[in-house]
Structure 1
Amino acid sequence: MAPSTETALFVVRERAAGERRVAATPDSVRRQVATGRRVLVEHEAGAAAGFPDEAYADAGADLVDATDAGGATLVARVAPPSLEDVNRLSPGTVLLTFLAPHRNLEVVRALADGGISTLAMDLVPRITRAQAIDALSSQANVSGYRAVIEAAHALDKYFPLFMTAAGTIRPARIVVLGAGVAGLQAVATAKRLGAVIHVSDIREAAREEVASLGGTFIEVPDIEDATGEGGYAKEVGAGFLERQRAVLTEFLGQANAAITTAQIPGRPAPELITREMVEAMQPGSVVIDLAAADGGNCALTEVGRIVEHHGVRIIPGNDFPSAMAGESSALYARNVAAFCDLLIDDEQRLQLDLDDEVVAGSLVTHEGTVTAPKIAELLGGKDA
């Protein structure tokens, strides 16, 4: 892509149902404007997250309507765009967004056909130099925290141990499935509230991290380290899953809440809790499924509604970051600003360095093609 003589960043007002976050806050705008960057913010883009237009104007942004942002060379948003959103973009635009490309193949095709260069915030490589850009981790932190708060609210039980004149109340027992960023934040939050936490993960590296936060690692017979690319878990065989489910059923039967966080980038979430495992849980207990958007870790999870089965409530957690829109937006805005710093040089020219592993790893569409190999394969061929 040829360098642009002027870089204007356009921050979109989100239109997806239930999405309250925004891709820039007044604070992140102020920092970017201080570097010489021009920032356009769509009217009321931050209203749902608690950031009024006046705060953006005071930070140096230009407030515009969606139709007045034609001069923007770089567009930032949170939720994956709709086909209508894609049609508003000019050829040659660089788009920063969560994309979930494996769930939005039609949108990916439209982005490629429209000549849009799309950098997916959910595909940023998990490497040291990309930590400031890692939006998946920043939002997973929010999800893990919120999952515990939701569980505490849903349960008819104290989390901590209470010793009273009327007797002792035992602490809540929590099972966390998956010890990635969200899972570890859930462990830390539940521990602060005084719960007893058991954690299941198929990555050997998770054992020490769980212990350091006060959780107990669930042992599975004949476990094999299943650490995959980028520190994520990789798929395991049916035999291991059967052994894991047998062990988890025992722990779930004693638990008050289960929080599931296991996801594999670009693929449906693994089913870790079957219908039968839910039926083994105590009536009144809850399952908080943070992988709901990718099909869920629980067989009974449904996006958009709470399912009750045998007295157990299964609560989808796909919208937890949006439920804490102010904090989530502040974190995401810093991720976006850090990505802009990588893409824009000291002379305020926008350039995509395809040899940069962060750019290359995040790039899904560019110059009319789908550049992400796995997504191109899903669309029917390389360079789809």
Structure 2
Amino acid sequence: MKIGAIQEPSAENRVSITPDIIDALSKLGFTVSLESKAGERAYFSDADYEKAGAKIASRNEILSNSDIIVSIHELDAASAKQIGNNKCYIATLAPLATPQKMKDLATNGAKIFSMDMIPRITRAQSMDVLSSQATVSGYKAVLLAASNYSRFFPMLTTAAGTITPARVLILGAGVAGLQAIATSRRLGAVVDVFDTRPEVKEQCMSLGAKFVEVEGAADASTSGGYAVDQSEDYKRRQKEAIAKFAEKADIIITTALIPGKKAPVLITKEMVESMRQGSVIVDLAAVMGGNCEVTQNDKTIMHNGVTVIGNSNLPSTQPMDASKMYAKNILNFLKLFVNKEKQFQINMEDEIINTCLIADAGSIRHKGVLSLLG
């Protein structure tokens, strides 16, 4: 079976297959091709891929000759039309946010898999692109905040006096939030963290953060690790609690997302205006409207002396390691396509495959997407 990886759009520096996984793919029985310069922005040259055993080809050759096409972002319309029946297309498609796009994409007849639909179960952890890329986002969000912050992060005692440590408020203790806690603590900040799930309290505290509790949250234990909608009464009490901490915070990092829905607004305009001038907000939910009311996606703005950074694609700013992790996720997912005899066989009854299959033979198969399409 032939696997082909496509060069990503100009705004994306990552690549979906890296040289270090090509040998493993070969041992599974796959041959690998990449579009020329596909890995260049992640610092992987065509020569690196050829040395690892991959072939460099044109975009048209890959789309025409590959049995499986892999990318990070959705292909452009012209390229998507070249993927026909009996082929597989694997990418991170955000299908619950773009159901109509999925319907249009399905017309090519291919089996379409979206890596962000991988279920958050133990067996699928090694394939979970949302978690691997969120690790990068949480780490880079803190570094971005530190570089835009007007003061130091750690407490410093100098001959010129003592500098008090920065106070960091992190909203959401998923993978990105936990990485943000760890990175903030390494830099010497005092960290408060808020999450609607009480079960993450111990993890936050083990990293050195103080956990902010608001009782009465809706049970999120069956949501696959994601946030869920809350009652209006809870939202009111949540807002009051966050406002108290936001006023004292020097840095706020927001990570809260609900699949297929607008991001919950946790930091209002009034909260931003209550913060000290020179403070920073990094909103990782910007692409879905943002957790901060004044966030603008893919923009850095100044609001009442507070820097507000809306960036949902921080993994692209750490392209080498982010690409390596994404590629390992792809490798582990492709292992499901090979049986014990090393024959290509897609088991449609497999929970992981079935959950992230969006379309097949021209029809939408994912229940969530079908529901959104009515």
TM-score (norm 1): 0.94
Which residue does 2:86 correspond to in 1?
A: 92
Q: Distance in 2 between matches of 1:297 and 1:84?
A: 34
Q: Distance in 1 between matches of 2:256 and 2:119?
A: 18
- Quote the residue 2:48 is aligned against: 55
Distance 2:77 2:373 in 1: 16
Deviations along 1:52-96, one digit per CA (max 9) or x if unpaired, are 000100111111101112221111101122323311212221111
In 1, distance between residues paired with 2:319 and 2:343? 31
Deviations 1:214-263 (A, max 9, x none): 00001225455444421222110111111111111111111111000011
Task: Please give the residue correspondences for 1:84-233 in structure 2 after superposition, counting only pairs within 5 Å.
Answer: 84-223=78-217, 225-233=219-227
Aligned to 1:3: none
Aligned position for 1:356: 350
Paired residue for 2:66? Answer: 72
Q: Does 1:332 align with 2:326?
A: yes
Percentage of matched positions with identical amino acids:
39
SS of corresponding position for 2:65 = coil
Say if 2:298 and 2:311, in contact at 8 Å, map to a contact too. no
**SS of match in other structure, 1:14:** coil
Q: Unpaired segments of 5 or more residues in structure 1?
A: 1-6
One-letter code aligned to 1:327: D
Partner of 1:27: 20
In structure 2, C-alpha distance between the alignment counterparts of 1:136 and 1:316, rounded to whole Å: 18
Counterpart amino acid of residue 355 in structure 2? G
Q: Return the match for 1:8 from 2, 10, 14.
A: 2
**Aligned to 2:169, what secondary structure does the other structure show?**
strand
Q: Is the 8 A contact 1:23 1:77 kept in 2?
A: yes
Is the Cα contact below 8 Å between 2:185 and 2:208 reproduced in 1?
yes
SS at 1:102's partner residue?
Answer: coil
Aligned length: 373
Q: Post-superposition shift, 1:51?
A: 0.3
Equivalent position of 1:4 in the other structure:
none
CA deviations on 1:255-306 (whole Å, 9 max, x unpaired) are: 1110000111222211111111111111111110011111111111111211
Measured in 1, the distance between the counterparts of 2:220 and 2:274 equals 27
Structure 2 contact 218–231 (Cα < 8 Å) conserved: no
CA contact (8 A) 1:18 1:319 kept: no
d(CA) in 2 for partners of 1:362 and 1:155? 40
Distance 2:157 2:121 in 1: 46
Q: 1:375 aligns with which of 361, 369, 373?
A: 369
In structure 1, the partner of 2:31 is 38
CA contact (8 A) 1:204 1:225 kept: no
Aligned with 2:224: secondary structure?
helix
Say if 1:81 and 1:99, in contact at 8 Å, map to a contact too: no
CA distance in 1: counterparts of 2:109 and 2:254, whole angstroms: 38
Kindly indicate whether the alpha-carbon contact (under 8 Å) linking 2:5 and 2:70 is maintained by their aligned counterparts in 1. yes
Task: Decide which moves more: 104-113 or 183-192.
Answer: 104-113
Query: Is 2:295 the counterpart of 1:301?
Result: yes
Q: What CA RMSD, in Å, does the superposition of the two structures yield over aligned residues?
A: 1.4
Runs of 4+ in structure 1 deviating by more than 6 angstroms, as ranges, are: none
SS of 1:234's equivalent?
coil
The answer for unaligned runs of 5 or more in structure 2 is: none
- Tell me the CA shift for residue 346 of structure 1: 4.8
C-alpha separation between the residues in 1 aligned to 2:65 and 2:216? 59
Q: Indicate the residue corresponding to 1:257 in structure 2.
A: 251
